[in-house]
Amino acid sequence: MKRAIIIDTDPGQDDALAILLALAAHETLELRGIVAVAGNVPLPLTQLNARRLCDLAGRPDMPVYAGCERPMVRDLITAEYVHGKTGLDGYDWPEVKTPLQEQHGVDYLIEALRSASEGEITLCTLGPLTNIAMAMVKAPDCKRGIGEIVMMGGGFFEGGNTSPAAEFNILVDPHAAHVVFGSGLPLTLMPLDVTHKALATKERIAAMQALGNETGKACAGMLSFFNRFDVEKYGSLGGPLHDPCVIAYLLEPSLFGGKAIPVQIDIAPGLTLGMTVMDWWGMTKKPPNCTVMKDIDADGYFKLLTTMFARLP
């Protein structure tokens, strides 16, 4: 039986590979819709990029929705300095064919979750949690349709990548993250502690290029551009490939290792705004509210990506 998922995303090159992985895994995952949110770049670009990826994968029939154009409380911060002015720099994108749905992304989420059976849908979040939190605030009853939320965001041992304490997705909308982490739903988190071990090295990028299809060419181009920032920042052998960890976990959970712990989001103004406060050692004695991953089989992860991308156009 296929696992029903909805992807909420702000593409972003790493989001792009996550979306392509989900589209390639159609025998295992039933992707019902993609909802764009402002994050890596503003909403007009994130919704356009989501549609471009559906085109690339040969899925112009995939429903794509535009959600929130700004965070719940704060002003929007973006990351063109990482992803380029389009968000998907590194590949020459043709004219988009996949249409944008008229319905607002938050209203789509509410409708889809309300019409689902209890716990039927897994939400896969690759960006700020604005759309998810807004759906929960606007229609609390829609939560019954969610079986699990698998997220990329946060960090503990690695600290932050946008402030000393905060990872980008959480820092963009910490108040939305606060709502989601307090929802009582089953949560699984892919933090920087995992993604910084999943480096897109030159050899791994070359393996995608060698596939010979347009998807492999696009992925290699995007990653070659994306890598430059993190390689310069961290001095690593490649950039960390964050977001596909979310989809890879659904396909091969054995690639990852972690444990259930209490996690809170700091929403107080100051240096630790957006920090994912992870009680890894059980100091607070609070019950766990999130399964946090810490380990990854990086070779197995990239093998899965390359194998699945070979199935796309």
Q: What is the pLDDT of residues 193-220, one digit of tens each?
A: 999 999 999 999 999 999 999 999 999 9
Q: Render pLDDT for 123-177 as a digit per residue (tens, 0 to 9).
A: 999 999 999 999 999 999 999 999 999 999 999 999 999 999 999 999 999 999 9
Q: 26 catalytic, yes or no?
A: no
Phi-psi region of 306 (alpha: psi -120 to 50; beta: other; left: phi over 0): alpha
pLDDT at 222 over 90: yes
Q: Tokens 């909403």 map to which residue?
A: 43
pLDDT at 234 over 90: no
* Residue 155 · residue 190 · CB < 8 Å: no
Mind giving me the DSSP string for 79-138? -HHHH-SSSSTTS------SPBPSS-HHHHHHHHHHHSPTT-EEEEE-S-SHHHHHHHHH
Q: 59 pLDDT band (50/70/90 cuts)? A: very high
Q: Tokens 């897994």 map to which residue?
A: 122
pLDDT at 236 over 90: no
pLDDT at 55 over 80: yes
Q: Tokens 């290792």 map to which residue?
A: 257
DSSP 149: E
pLDDT at 72 over 90: yes
Q: What is the mean pLDDT of residues 57-71?
A: 98
Cα dihedral 247, 273, 177, 254 sign: positive
Structure tokens given for 285: 């004695």
Decide yes or no: CATH 3.90.245.10 for domain 3-309: yes
Structure tokens given for 110: 């509410």
Q: What is the mean pLDDT of residues 185-199?
A: 97
Q: 257 pLDDT band (50/70/90 cuts)? A: very high
DSSP-based three-state secondary structure for 8: strand
Q: What is the mean pLDDT of residues 278-282?
A: 96
Prior bond to 12 cis, omega within 30?
yes
Q: Please list, in sequence order, all residues whose beta carbon lies within 8 angstroms of the beta carbon of residue 224, skipping any fewer than 6 positions away.
A: 90, 205
Q: Tokens 């002015």 map to which residue?
A: 85
Q: Render pLDDT for 73-109 as a digit per residue (tens, 0 to 9).
A: 999 999 998 999 999 999 999 999 999 999 999 999 9
Domain boundaries, the chain: 3-309
Structure tokens given for 57: 């994968």
DSSP alpha helix (H) spans, the chain:
13-24, 43-56, 80-83, 105-115, 130-138, 168-172, 174-181, 192-195, 202-209, 214-234, 244-251, 298-309
> Which pTM does this prediction carry?
0.96
* Residue 43 · residue 16 · CB < 8 Å: no
**One of 83, 178, 196, 242 is an active-site residue; which one?**
242
Query: For residue 29, which phi and psi values (nearest 5 degrees)?
Result: -115, 130
Distance CA 227, CA 208 (A): 14
Distance CA 286, CA 246 (A): 26
In degrees to the nearest 10, what's the CA dihedral of 298, 300, 305, 309? 150
> What is the pLDDT at residue 75?
97
Beta bridge partners of residue 189, listed in sequence order: 151, 292
* Residue 106 · residue 16 · CB < 8 Å: no
Distance CA 308, CA 57 (A): 11
Q: What is the mean pLDDT of the chain?
A: 96
> What is the pLDDT at residue 233?
72
Q: What percent of the chain has pLDDT over 70?
A: 100
